[in-house]
Amino acid sequence: MHQILLYLLRCSKALVPEEEIANMLQWEELEWQKYAEECKGMIVTNPGTKPSSVRIDQLDREQFNPDVITFPIIVHFGIRPAQLSYAGDPQYQKLWKSYVKLRHLLANSPKVKQTDKQKLAQREEALQKIRQKNTMRREVTVELSSQGFWKTGIRSDVCQHAMMLPVLTHHIRYHQCLMHLDKLIGYTFQDRCLLQLAMTHPSHHLNFGMNPDHARNSLSNCGIRQPKYGDRKVHHMHMRKKGINTLINIMSRLGQDDPTPSRINHNERLEFLGDAVVEFLTSVHLYYLFPSLEEGGLATYRTAIVQNQHLAMLAKKLELDRFMLYAHGPDLCRESDLRHAMANCFEALIGAVYLEGSLEEAKQLFGRLLFNDPVFISIHLIFLSYTSLQKILYQLDLREVWLNYPLHPLQLQEPNTDRQLIETSPVLQKLTEFEDAIGVIFTHVRLLARAFTLRTVGFNHLTLGHNQRMEFLGDSIMQLVATEYLFIHFPDHHEGHLTVSLY
């Protein structure tokens, strides 16, 4: 570290010393060009001015008055922010939209009138005039006197890398915080990026850990003049876009043969998967816990469990609002919007646990959150009254019932198998042909018989009911299977595209 400080001290000298300026102005052109090239790309600073530091792109020594010694001029080629240039001007945007619309109409018109061509030319000319205004141009040439500027010994590449330090620091700190989330959910993610993705709201963008405008200004003033990172289209390729043409383009793409990771960097896809997992788990448990409840009652109970208000409460138990990554703007200022985002984040977390772990891991997590988890109870146990302790013990009993649900009534009657009934039942004998056709042999063949029993048949001792409840369960199973397939094999589809494909 001391070597770096010594280097900075050695380099800290005036860009153009006042005692040597007269001599420097007398240099030969070749000697001056050599010095200017050495300074090109260097960061110089003038404390107390705004901006205090700037990158030298050119150093000129023009003397307009031979009787007055003038300090050389620092030339800096900057870029005006888009909001202050023609790209952010409302008049330009309105004119550009009308120009694009007219150009599209003329391109698809079988016969173009001369007046329409003139209108298009006039709008193009008006756009060009706005672009050429000095107050609207993005590229700006700044000229500063070199008087008072000091060398730093630092060049633009160092500044470019230094601006990544806040991002790196934020990344390390955030993943340290996620270790606490691992303890809360009782599961440790091996793929840490998957957990971060589950916590990333669609509004989130990297902001360098500070005001984005400050970061952009620093990069413009001190960073590399024209950095090249490859094709810029890559940054926008996987962002959500509107329009019927985009929808048709995405929906016409074929799925990948092998499971393919997605480059969409927010949690909407995981939320889509997690929603199906939560609905499946809820349907299965309700189906077994309430064997005499009809389909309508099961659907009512399921709606109460999977609705956003309830999922937001479960997310609050995990303190997901402290781990969510989202933009600080007007979108999530209202409590209702934030709770909705927390519910979506919870579904994304369940989807991530299911994706990396298993359905059993997702089931255990969901069950612990529905009813008080011993992990949370042990933290607050010493502060609880006797009445509160009774309620918690009751909650623990409910959790055990939820996680260890009983078998189906047909399975309880014959715990091992009921295939011995095939010999005496013509209905079950016919179903053996169906088993051969689908390649699945049922341990409890009466379950298969119930799946074919319509409501109009009425109650009978063979199936103990009709197939409406099984339809309720099968709907959730089919939705989960289809959702997982779409999620894995269509990596470019956003949540809306996946929903359209599903239904």
Residues with catalytic annotation? 275, 347
- What is the dihedral sign for C-alpha 365, 370, 374, 379? positive
Residue type, 157: D
Collapsing DSSP states into helix, strand and coil, what is residue 205? coil
Are 372 and 396 a contacting pair, CB within 8 Å?
A: yes
CA distances to 39, 52, 53, 165, 353 from 148, in Å: 15, 11, 11, 29, 59
Position of tokens 């300026």?
21
Please enumerate in sequence order all residues whose Cβ is within 8 A of that of 271, keeping only pairs 6 or more positions apart, or say none.
Answer: 344, 345, 347, 348, 351, 495
Pairing of strands 58-60, 73-79: antiparallel
Q: CA torsion angle for 425, 429, 430, 432 (degrees, to 10)?
A: 140
**Is the CB of residue 493 less than 8 Å from the CB of residue 501?**
yes
Q: 407 — phi, psi (to 5°)?
A: -75, 170
Backbone angles phi, psi at 155, to 5 degrees: -110, 175
- Closest of 64, 60, 73 to residue 33, by C-alpha: 60
Question: What residue has token string 């001190």?
Answer: 222
Within 12-89, where are the H helices?
A: 21-25, 29-39
DSSP state of 194: H
Beta strand 42-45 with 53-55 is: antiparallel
**107 token code pair:** 């391109």
DSSP at 13: S
Two tokens, residue 85: 């240039």
